[in-house]
Amino acid sequence: MPIILLLLLVLIILGPQWWVKWIINHHQKDLDRIPGTGGELAVHLLKQLKITDVEVESTDQGDHYDPTALKVRLSEENYSGRSLAAIAIAAHEVGHAIQHKQQMPLFNWRSRLVMFAIGTEKLGVVALMAIPLVGGLFRIPHPMIALLAVGIGSLLVGVIVQLITLPVETDASFNKALPLLVKGQYIEAKDEKAVRQILRAAAMTYVAATLASILNVWRWLAILRR
């Protein structure tokens, strides 16, 4: 039974990540009916929307919008590709640029909290790694309890940020990107279902990240119980 429960837990946590990767890879094939690349579409949409201060570039750090540098960054396969995945993900990242231009409150909060979460996560890992050393030096539980509280609390900040991110991602996919693609006739009617799946996967990336963060907290708790 413990093994079955462990496998079930792993499936619940890692399942969304596998699903997201499968959906994206399934629609990564270039299609002759798509007239331009993901990068070209992103540039075109930004121009159409009169968002003139945002640039588009290729990156090896994953598809994202950088509100500090004012750049839509696309992985090479989506920047240069003519696939449904490239088109949908490019539009999704432009959706974040629209949120930034509109000063969407939740988007602004997410941007601030992400930087805070990066710092607190590093602090949390240091605190958790220091627990055995501090326990060996002081031989009393209070410092270890304090470090455990700091460590787990810091990691939970990352979970909270991921939860805040989900509605931001959903908005970028279905309130921004999809209407642009459908109304602008950048995709054919027969492709709309597939594009919806891709946009859902783009938003679900952060659900997968949230579950991975929860798994990370659980992993540290398991290690410290030994």
Each residue's pLDDT tens digit, 99-151: 999 999 988 887 777 777 666 767 776 776 777 676 666 666 667 677 777 77
Distant-in-sequence, close-in-space partners of 76: CB < 8 Å, separation ≥ 6? 58, 60
**Total of domains in the chain:** 1
- pLDDT above 70 for 97: yes
Kindly state whether residue 37 falls inside one of the protein's structural domains: yes
Contact 110, 65 (CB under 8 A): no
- Is position 44 within any domain? yes
pLDDT in tens, 9-56: 666 666 777 888 899 999 999 999 998 999 999 999 999 999 999 999
Domain range for residue 188?
A: 15-225
CA distances from 87 to 12, 123, 124, 125 (A): 29, 38, 38, 38
Residue 136: CA count within 13 A, CB half-sphere: 4
Task: Kindly state whether residue 1 falls inside one of the protein's structural domains.
Answer: no
- For the entire predicted model, the pTM comes to 0.77
Query: Rounded distance, CA 39 to CA 57, Å?
Result: 7
Closest-CA residue to 131 (of 24, 221, 6, 201): 221
Q: Is residue 7 part of a domain?
A: no
Residue at 155 is within a domain? yes
As a whole number, the mean pLDDT across the chain is 83
- In-domain check, residue 5: no
Distance CA 132, CA 152 (A): 15
Assigned token pair, 148 = 């455990």
Q: Has residue 1 got a pLDDT over 60? A: no
**148 is a domain residue:** yes
Q: Which residues are catalytic?
A: 93
How far is residue 190's CA from residue 132's CA, in Å, rounded to a whole number?
Answer: 58
For residue range 142-176, what is the model confidence (pLDDT) as tens digits?
676 777 777 777 777 777 777 777 889 899 999 99
- Please check whether residue 75 lies inside any domain of the structure: yes
